[in-house]
Amino acid sequence: MPCELILGGARSGKSRHAESLAGAAGLAVCVIVTAEPLDEEMAARIARHQADRPAGWQVVESPRGLARTLAREARADRCVIVDCLTLWLANLLEGAETLPPGVGGEGLPQLLEERAALLELIPSLPGRVIFVANEVGLGLVPETALGRLFRDEAGRLNQAVAAACPRVTFVAAGLPLVLKG
């Protein structure tokens, strides 16, 4: 299986499911992490994820430049987990709060370039690649323009990655539901 997208809500078990698949793949594992420890709460979340991973897995930080990192790290003899696309997207939305009203992601050149590079790369990735992303469109409509932009861009990104991956799984309450593949 060349690539898979695993979607789910917060604390749904999506990362644990990705890690289980990677562990069962019988390949060396590399985890590309996109979170940045910008505050104590996020640092604690990152530490919890680190503690849950097997010690022998390689971890590469890539809050931006994900396509370049994937091109370098994906290999035929390796399983790569990207955890997660949603935090990577949030990193690319830096400066979005200054966009004029009504201007969406098209007003953020770095977002457009990085998303295009990722989507172009996905079909040619060697080995097994598991993308993890939050499904944020199932809840309330965010009350701020920036929140709505984030929700909309996350939905667009998830749809595009799902179209490029042969397998898509939704995880709720720790239970995987295969949507595609």
Does 10 show up as a binding residue in the annotation?
yes
Q: Which neighbouring-strand residues pair with 79?
A: 29, 128
- Euclidean distance between CA atoms 142 and 151, whole angstroms: 8
Given a contact cutoff of 8 angstroms between Cβ atoms, the answer to whether 144 and 162 are in contact is: no
The H-assigned helical ranges of 94-181 are 109-121, 145-164
Q: Which residues contact 54 (CB under 8 A, 6 or more apart)?
A: 23, 29
Phi/psi for 89 (5° steps) reads: -60, -45
Strands 167-172 and 128-134: unpaired
Strands 175-180 and 167-172: antiparallel
- Which residue in the list 6, 29, 30, 49 is annotated as catalytic? 49
Contacts of 27 (CB under 8 A, 6+ apart): 77, 78, 79, 127, 128
Catalytic residue list contains 17: no
Known binding residue 8? Answer is yes
* Catalytic positions: 49
List binding-site positions. Answer: 8-15, 61, 83
List binding-site positions for GTP. Answer: 8-15, 61, 83
